[in-house]
Amino acid sequence: MSQSLARKGRKQAYKMVLVQLGISFALFLVGLLMSGTISLSLGVGSLIVVLVNFVFATIVFRKSGAQAAQQVKRAFAMGESIKLMLTIVLLVLAFTTLPVHAGALLIGFSIIVLSQWFAPLIIK
């Protein structure tokens, strides 16, 4: 029973990551209408969130069940810590190594973060 609940949660988490990936692609295409730099910036900003959410979901849904409650709790804390550190590292790398427009990158990042708020409407 707990395995099926974990599988269902993992499936929903990955489904949300796929929706976010689709939104990221749409942002990239919209950016192409403006300029290559804007498109790159929107794409990179949004893909940072998609990547860290994928990593988080992978870490959190490795364990399940009542017997693994402590492991699930630790995995959640570790996943959240890794997600935060990875986000910081990727943002710093994007700003220092890529020719990005800061505003567009942060807009792409923010749109994907906001998409999580609408997850219950998107994923049923």
Examine residue 124 and state whether it is found in any structural domain, yes or no.
Answer: no
Range of the domain at 62: 2-116
Q: Tokens 């590292």 correspond to what residue?
A: 89
Examine residue 65 and state whether it is found in any structural domain, yes or no.
Answer: yes
Examine residue 123 and state whether it is found in any structural domain, yes or no.
Answer: no
Question: Could you tell me if residue 65 is left (phi over 0), alpha (psi between -120 and 50 degrees) or otherwise beta?
Answer: left
Domain tally for the chain?
A: 1
The 10 Å CB-count burial string (b at 16+, else e) for 31-60 is: beeeeeebbbbbbbbbbbbbbbbbbbbbbb
pLDDT digits (tens, 9 = 90+) for 8-33: 878 888 999 999 999 999 999 999 99
Q: What percent of the chain has pLDDT over 90?
A: 69
pTM above 0.85, yes or no: yes
